[in-house]
Amino acid sequence: MSLRIWGPIILIALGVLFWLGKFGIIDFYWSRDWPVILIVIGVFSLINLIVKKTRRRSSRNKRDILTKLENGKIDAEEAIKRIKRL
């Protein structure tokens, strides 16, 4: 998920929490529960960072395999095997 979408998601989540709290469905008090919201935002940001690094590493490895294939260092079958292992 891109960073641009986090702002709207956070606003929607806060709105849902306030709305559910107003109707007594959940027991939500901003003065008590705001640290939990910060922790959740931090966890999602960390997961987003880890996923991006994994994707970047995977695409770099695919690029290396394709470069070796283009240079004739490996054949097509070997390239397919290596890409499937990623």
Position 42 scores a pLDDT of: 80
Query: Could you report the per-residue pLDDT of 15-50, keeping only the tens digit for each?
Result: 888 888 888 888 877 778 778 878 888 888 788 778
Average pLDDT over residues 54-80: 86
Q: Please tell me the pTM assigned to this model.
A: 0.49
- pLDDT band for 71, please (50, 70, 90 cuts): very high
Query: Could you report the per-residue pLDDT of 2-17, keeping only the tens digit for each?
Result: 667 777 787 888 888 8
What's the per-residue H, E or C state across 42-74? HHHHHHHHHHHHHHHHHHHHHHHHHHHHHCCCC
Nearest 5°: the CA angle 48, 53, 58 is: 125
* Domain boundary assignment for the chain: 3-85
